[in-house]
Structures are given as structure tokens and as C-alpha cells.
Amino acid sequence: MVKLVANNLEMKFGERHIFSVDRLQLSQGQTIHLQGDNGCGKTTLMKLLAGLISPSRGVITTEGFDPLPWWRSNALLGKAVYLHQHPYLFDGSVEYNLSYPHPFCNMTKQQLSERTQTAIEMAELTHLKNQAASSLSGGEKQRLAIARAWIMQPKLLMLDEPTSNMDRFSQDLVLTMISDLQQLGTGMLISSHQSCVLTSLCNQSWVIENQHIMSSFTAENITDSTPINLQEPRYVIAN
Ligand SMILES: Nc1ncnc2c1ncn2[C@@H]1O[C@H](COP(=O)(O)OP(=O)(O)O)[C@@H](O)[C@H]1O
Ligand SMILES: [Mg+2]
């Protein structure tokens, strides 16, 4: 079971306090909706969990791999994926972006090629597959980035405002891919300041408000098969 655990976390930019929280855990089997107003710190929290920035105080560790603060180890490369709101794409075609061999993924050439073709179809990108990724619309770029994540099958996936540029058609396509990853046990953190088609999949929510992060289960989404660790505190309130 791959999990990221944050303890005694505080984030500041200069003197400005963004948020603090005693304990948070993102693990396989969870699907979490990260909510909060613009500027409350959703992207900052995801970047912290993704190891792209360091906290002002506290540690984030990974269980299942390495006791070190995980951003100092390579253990989660390819296993924990953060998708930026404005996806980073390679120069080159849509197909190139999907079929680029992921250095940290355990896949043969044949498997990668098969998954690429399936992803192109699932994301309805067939008619765009030879087009430069840089020329896609915002929603198409997000669809492409999510298709790439679907190919990688990460253990943990953080999606930053994934549907912000998407029409209903794109949202439904992405819902299929994300549901598929959820079935495979990928733990997901999905940020959006309001409900979207993906948040219907969530069984827990984290809300950032008044520089605190509060975590709660979404009771109606808990089923017998929902793999939630009920040992976890029902509410985690920042200090
Ligand atoms: N590198 C940075 N330096 C200074 N302030 C930052 C930096 N990154 C983000 N901020 C500030 O931190 C706050 C939280 O930002 P962000 O996490 O992007 O919010 P959200 O994603 O919830 O809209 C914002 O007020 C933003 O301006
Ligand atoms: Mg943001």
C-alpha cells in the first residue's frame, strides 16, 4: 500500500501563513476532493505532496517505500503523479506525448504501444493524434495529460483543477479514465473549488478554510467496498 503521510505541516510564503495541519494521509484506495476558495492553498498542498516544494515546517513521508522524507528518495518516481492545472506537454504530436517511454514505468514496448492506442481512443483523440500537442485547446490538453496518466497507472494521482477548461463531453471522457484508475486502486486527490463530474467519485473531502485543512468522509459515498482506512481520525483539524 503506497501512501503519503504529512505530519505537523505548516506552509508559509515569506511571513504569509498559507495553512497548517497536524496530519494528512493520501493513500491508495482513497479518492479525495480538495476544496477551497481561490488562493487558499490547494495547488500549494498538491505541490508539497508531490515533492515539488518543501514545507516551512513538518515532514511528508511515504509508507510502503522509504522512511526518508520521500522527496529525497526516488521510491515514488512514476508512482505518484501530479497533474498541473496547465499541463506540461512535450514538443511533438499528441501520439508522441502518449507513447513517450516513461522511464519509471514497468512496461514493455508492446504494452506501452497497446495502452497508447487504447488511451487515444478513450480520450477521443484519434482525429488529433498527429497534431502538435502545443496547438490543442486547454480542455484537449487536460484530456491528453489525463490520458498519459491513465497509461502510467500511478499508485497516487493528484489532479489540480482537472475539469476547469472542460466542456461536458470532455468531462465525461475523463470520468471514464479516472473511474478506471479508481477501480485499479489508484489513490486520488482532485482539487476543484466547486463540485464537478469527478467529485461524484470522491469518498472523502479535504477543505482548506481560514488557513486550516479539515478532512471528512463523504458518508453517502462510503460503501462496503470502499477501501477506506477507518482507523484514520474522522476529522483532522489544523492547530
Ligand atoms: N511561490 C509563491 N510565492 C509566494 N506566494 C505564493 C507562491 N505560490 C503561491 N503563492 C500564494 O499562496 C496562496 C495559495 O496559492 P495556491 O496554492 O495557488 O491557491 P489555490 O490553488 O487554492 O488557488 C496564493 O495567495 C498565492 O498567491
Ligand atoms: Mg490552484
**Which whole number is the average pLDDT over 191-210?**
90
Let me know if 22 is exposed, middle or buried by CB neighbors in 10 A (0-12, 13-18, 19+).
middle
Q: Please tell me the distance between residue 38's alpha carbon and the centre of ligand 1 in angstroms.
A: 9
Total residues belonging to the chain: 239
Averaged pLDDT for residues 153-175: 93
Residue among 95, 102, 134, 136 nearest 116 (CA): 95
- pTM score over 0.85: yes
Q: Distance, CA 20 to ligand 2 centroid (Å)?
A: 17
Residues 79-131: tens digit of each pLDDT = 889 999 998 899 999 999 999 877 667 788 899 999 999 999 999 999 999 99
Kindly give the number of the ligand 1 atom that is closest to the alpha carbon of 36.
22
Provide CB contacts within 8 A for 187, sequence distance 6+.
2, 3, 26, 27, 28, 29, 30, 31, 155, 156, 157
Start-end of H helices in the chain: 42-49, 94-99, 109-122, 138-152, 168-183
Residue 72 has pLDDT above 80, yes or no: no
**167 within a domain of the structure (yes/no):** yes
CA-14 nearest atom, ligand 1: 4
Lowest-pLDDT range, 56-65, 185-194, 227-236?
Answer: 227-236
Closest-lying ligand 1 atom to the alpha carbon of residue 37: 22
Q: Is residue 45 part of a domain?
A: yes
Say which CATH number the domain at 186 has: 3.40.50.300
Q: Bridge-partner residues for 224, per DSSP?
A: none
Span 196-220, mean pLDDT? 85
- The answer as to whether 162 is a domain residue is yes
Q: Is residue 79 one of the residues assigned to a domain?
A: yes
227 in a domain, yes or no? no
Protein residue closest via CA to atom 18 of ligand 1: 43
- Residue with the smallest CA separation from ligand 1 atom 9 is 44
Residue 199 Cα to ligand 2 middle (Å)? 16
206 Cα: distance to centroid of ligand 1 (angstroms) = 17
Q: Is residue 92 in a domain? A: no
> What's the domain range around 199?
3-87+153-221
Domain for residue 65, yes or no? yes
Please list every protein residue whose CB sits less than 6 Å from any atom of ligand 1: 13, 18, 36, 38-44
Q: Is the pLDDT of residue 208 over 60?
A: yes
Q: What distance in Å separates the CA atoms of residue 185 and residue 193, rounded to the nearest whole number?
A: 25
The preferred substitution site among 18, 160, 193 for testing ligand 1, maximizing ligand atoms within 8 Å of CB, is 18
Q: Going by CA atoms, what residue is nearest to atom 25 of ligand 1?
A: 39
Q: Are 204 and 235 in contact (CB under 8 A)?
A: no
How many angstroms is it from 235 CA to the middle of ligand 2? 23
132-141: average pLDDT? 94
The beta-carbon contacts of 117-126 under 8 Å, at least 24 apart in sequence, are 119/147, 119/148, 119/150, 119/151, 119/177, 120/94, 120/95, 120/147, 122/147, 122/150, 122/173, 122/176, 122/177, 123/147, 123/150, 123/173, 123/174, 123/177, 124/169, 124/173, 125/94, 125/98
Is 120 domain-assigned?
no
Domain count, the chain: 1
